[in-house]
Copies of this chain bind each other. A is one copy, B any other.
Amino acid sequence: MALCYKRLALQAVLRQMSEGSVYTMRDVARLARVSVATVSAVVNEKKGVRPVLVKRVQDAMKALDYHPDHVARSLKVRRTTTIGVVIPDFASGFFMEVVRGVEDVARTAGYSVLLCNSNDDVSQEQRHLSVLFSRRVDGILLATTDPYSVARRQYRPNLPIVLFDRIPPGHQGPAVVVDNKSAAYEATKYLISLGHRQIAFIAGRLDLSTGMDRADGFRKAMEDAHLTVRADYLKHGDFKAASGYEAGLELLKLSDRPTAIFSSNSQMTVGLLKAMQELGSHCPEDVSVFGFDDLVPGTEGFSFGALLKPELTVIAQPGYQIGHQAAEMLLKLLAEPSDGKSQPDEGVVTLKAELCIRNSVAPPHSANS
């Protein structure tokens, strides 16, 4: 009898549905014979609802395969539980590692992530930020291509933005970066300690903190060792493989070739290695190569770097950690009352990069140390 009644109620509700539509809280409420407020309370696991009603609501939800409309909820509560992540390059192993770190903490906290590709282009970055803003994301994780974008535009009061990888000069807001300067310094010092004097440097984009800091670290190490940097050993790349390739060709064709080359990022290192391959230069026999970033992050403890010919000596950045930390920082910012009062976690977190010595670097043949 009761069962029969229930089935009839269900059918009544089912029948009222228009084709292609989806059940709403009202349908559930009707079927469970409660108010929508009660359904809402059950959905949001608020306590204080009579167990009988909870059961009835749950049954109704199941019967209708009800999925609460997160869009409507977002509009009402003015939070989307979504974060935007914009990175400059989808093909980069490093940035994908970062994204992996971000996703892990986001998912755990119940956030979804909207992933955007700026292609290292300022206007695309601006457009994406604008879209993310319109979509009312709760916060943004940004590897900015434009050192001034963030300062230039305050997107929304109380819209937290955590920068990572790159920061504008003098940036004070929340950010997670790697100590590029000292990493490059250590790398260069290592080359010098091995006896290298003729060290070439392939710089990345100097308008980005990463490119500039790495160049600074290199320069400082050379200075500290009282070595001069020859102009023709200094190549200006743009972080892409092609520029590393060009730089490599030029350096290797020099009559007075460098004994070691330090490349500012992995893409350019790939280009450099390709140039060497074409010209028949071997490494480290003919020239030592020091890279920044593994060409591709390892898998579950299996390093690709070790499978390369040669195994590349590099500065390894903790990509996953960067993403993880940045996401945690962002979520903490979101959890805060954000009355503008306490901002304990603002500030730049600097992670250490690791000197990863393998065997693409050897002492120069004519070691004069």
Contact = CB atoms under 8 A, between A and B. Distances in A.
Contacts of A107: 116-117
Interface stretch (A6-14, A56-64, A69-77): A69-77
Nearest to A270: B302
A156 interface: yes
Contacts of A75: 69, 71-72, 75
Given A100-B90, A136-B69, A304 B295 contact: yes
Interface in A172-212: none
Interface in A80-118: 80, 82, 90-91, 93, 96-97, 99-100, 103-104, 107, 112-117
A309 interface: yes
Interface stretch (A28-36, A237-245, A253-261): A237-245
Interface stretch (A46-54, A271-279, A344-352): A271-279
A70 B295 contact: no
Interface stretch (A126-134, A144-152, A213-221, A328-336): A126-134
Given A107-B117, A156-B22, A274 B302 contact: yes
14 contacts: A22-B156, A70-B134, A70-B136, A71-B71, A82-B114, A90-B103, A91-B300, A93-B296, A114-B114, A242-B300, A270-B302, A270-B304, A273-B307, A295-B307
Interface of A: 19-22, 67-72, 74-75, 80, 82, 90-91, 93, 96-97, 99-100, 103-104, 107, 112-117, 130-131, 133-136, 156-158, 240-242, 245, 267, 270-271, 273-274, 277, 295-297, 299-302, 304, 306-310, 338
